[in-house]
Amino acid sequence: WGVDGHAIICQIAQDRLSDSAAAAVEDLLPNYAKNNLSRLCSWADRVKFRYRWSSPLHYIDTPDGLCTYDYDRDCKDEDGVKGRCVSGAITNYTNQLLDYGNSSSESHYNLTEALLFLAHLMGDVHQPLHVGFTSDRGGNTINVRWYRRKSVLHHVWDDNIIETAEDRFYDDNVEEFTEAIKQNITGEWSDQVVKWEKCSDNKVACPDAYASESIEAACDWAYKGVKNNTQLEDEYFLSRLPVVNLRLAEGGVRLAATLNRIFG
């Protein structure tokens, strides 16, 4: 996702934290974040160049056309190093954060950075094309037109659908869009939320389940009907916006649920 998608997910999560998780987040965030995760939710994208090792941690490449995800098969970087993908990174930073409050010794890890990576990557694993096909790099090499403008399919899902929704329906205001999604969470979707939060086998984080949902949505919605140089307009925008809304909501709800389990 772009800046707005991440800010939406982190704001939804911030507003669902338990008291103990909110206190830990307040403690770990730098003061200039004003006790709100959403202000630093895109930090992990800004450090991709400084921390070159971190760029494969934002996505998963899966076999072309298969529409499935398997941790052992797919969670690796371009050199084949296992665990270096968004799902492996979510598990890693979750485990680092479980050190928080272990008074026995200071953590060996930078838990502020662990929190900022976790908050960001929990968003990315919900972006369908962050679990995309290998040959097109998650839609990054598929050129399209978004209405009259040049874009690429990956960017349509990171940014263009959200920008167009804000422009058309929410007064160009990310807070208004966030509020509308939050109302869906407590209204229309309220009976599904408990299921979204659930993580089987008493695990603290469940990123593999979210990655599987993403590649399915990528096949069913993102890639469907799109070839190189396809023009995407209202038909695509209006049918895919509900999918984007749902993934942003699930991302926010699950980020909060994970932080509440970590800091519970």
Binding site for ligand ADE (CB under 6 A): 58-59, 61, 129-130, 132, 137-138, 140
Give the range of 67-75, 88-96, 156-164, 179-187 binding Zn ion by CB under 5 A: 156-164
Q: Is 124 in the site for Zn ion (CB under 5 A)?
A: yes
The helices-and-strands tally (H runs, E runs) of the chain is: 12, 5
Q: Which residues contact 249 (CB under 8 A, 6 or more apart)?
A: 12, 181, 184, 185, 189
Q: Which is nearer to ligand ADE, 211 or 257 (CB)?
A: 211
Q: Least separation, in Å, of the C-beta of 138 and ligand ADE?
A: 2
Instruction: Confirm if 11 and 38 have CB atoms less than 8 A apart.
Output: yes
Binding partner of 132, given ligand ADE, Zn ion, none, CB within 5-8 angstroms per partner class: ligand ADE
Amino acid at 132: G
Give the Å distances, CA to CA, from 217 to 86, 110, 132, 240: 17, 34, 10, 10
Strands 143-146 and 149-152 come out as: antiparallel
**Least gap, CB of 151 to Zn ion (angstroms):** 13
From ligand ADE, Zn ion, none, which one binds at residue 61 (CB under 5 to 8 Å depending on kind)?
A: ligand ADE
Name residue 150's beta-bridge partners.
145
Q: How far is CA 8 from CA 176, 181, 252, 255, in A?
A: 10, 9, 8, 12
Least distance CB 83 / ligand ADE (angstroms): 16
**Partner touching 158 among ligand ADE, Zn ion, none, CB below 5 to 8 Å by kind:** Zn ion
**What amino acid is encoded at 207 in this protein?**
P
Q: Which does 136 bind (CB under 5 to 8 A by kind): ligand ADE, Zn ion, none?
A: none
Which CB atom, from 24 or from 156, has the smaller least distance to Zn ion?
A: 156
Q: For ligand ADE, give the closer residue by CB, 137 or 182.
A: 137
The entry of ligand ADE, Zn ion, none near residue 138 (CB within 5 to 8 angstroms by kind) is: ligand ADE
Member of 58, 76, 84, 247 binding Zn ion (CB under 5 A):
58
DSSP letter for each residue of 113-165 = HHHHHHHHHHHHTTSGGGEEETTTTTTTT-EEEETTEEEEHHHIIIIIHHHHH
Which one among 61, 74, 136, 158 touches Zn ion, defined by CB under 5 A? 158
137 binds, among Zn ion, ligand ADE, none (CB under 5 to 8 A by kind): ligand ADE
DSSP classification of residue 53: G
Which of the stretches 41-49, 70-78, 144-152, 190-198 binds Zn ion when contact is defined by CB under 5 A?
A: 41-49
In three-state secondary structure terms, 231 is strand
